[in-house]
């Protein structure tokens, strides 16, 4: 009989836009969502503090990457309007994808990034100077779920 698996989830919220250039209806136009991003990590054992990972450490490890989606628009690099958008709104943030920036693609991009962070480890100080660390391989990423609306989400899981 194997032991328990411990899981924790950290949620992030970003105001994020995208446009799906190949969509047959209104989704091909720029539009936005309040996206809730759930990152679930797991471990077979708890650390010295009795945790899978400190929630603050997980936040510090991922928030910089996730902030690039906040008040930004995700666009397919081959979208015919990308150049015009950048010209018209040079101060805007764009996240450019190889393909359509669907919620599934956004979840996969975040999943890949979070997987690398957890495998490589993370160390930083909070605003108060308290050090936070995630040792390499300490916990594993199980899934990333990105809510596009309160009733619709996409998920990438191990």
pLDDT class of 3 with cuts at 50, 70, 90: confident
Question: 56 is written with which tokens?
Answer: 């603050």
pLDDT tens readout for residues 105-139: 999 999 999 999 999 999 999 999 999 999 999 99
Average pLDDT of the residues in 32-43: 97
Cα 23-25-26 angle, rounded to 5 deg: 100
pLDDT class of 28 with cuts at 50, 70, 90: very high
Nearest to 38 by CA among 139, 136, 84, 107: 107
Q: What does the alpha-carbon distance between residue 28 and residue 26 come to, in Å, rounded to a whole number?
A: 5
pLDDT tens readout for residues 41-73: 999 999 999 999 999 999 999 999 999 999 999
Average pLDDT of the residues in 139-151: 97
151: phi > 0 → left, psi -120 to 50 → alpha, else beta; which? alpha
pLDDT at 89: 87
Q: Could you give the domains of the chain? A: 6-157 (3.30.479.10)
Beta bridge partners of 153: 147
The residue to which tokens 């209104």 are assigned: 26
Residue 142 CB neighbours (<10 A)? 16
pLDDT class of 92 with cuts at 50, 70, 90: confident
Question: 73 is written with which tokens?
Answer: 């628009």
**Contact criterion met (CB below 8 Å) for 21 and 108:** no
Using the predicted structure, report yes or no on whether residue 1 has a pLDDT greater than 80.
no
Average pLDDT of the residues in 20-48: 95
**Average pLDDT for the chain:** 95
Q: What is the CA radius of gyration of the chain?
A: 18
């Amino acid at each position: 009989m194997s032991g328990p698996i411990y899981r924790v989830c950290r949620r992030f919220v970003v105001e994020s836009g995208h446009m799906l250039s190949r969509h047959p209806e209104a989704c091909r136009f720029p539009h936005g969502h309040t996206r809730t991003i759930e990152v679930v990590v797991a471990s077979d054992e708890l650390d010295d503090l009795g945790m899978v990972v400190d929630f603050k450490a997980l936040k510090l490890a991922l928030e910089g990457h996730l902030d690039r989606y906040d008040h930004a628009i995700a666009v397919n690099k081959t979208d015919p309007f990308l150049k015009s958008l950048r010209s018209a709104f040079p101060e805007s943030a764009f996240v450019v994808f190889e393909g359509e920036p669907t919620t599934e693609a956004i979840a996969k991009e975040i999943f890949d990034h979070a997987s690398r962070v957890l495998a490589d480890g993370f160390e930083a100080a909070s605003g108060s100077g308290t050090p936070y660390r995630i040792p390499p391989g300490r916990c594993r990423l199980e899934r990333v779920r990105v809510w596009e609306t309160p009733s619709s989400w996409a998920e990438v899981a191990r």
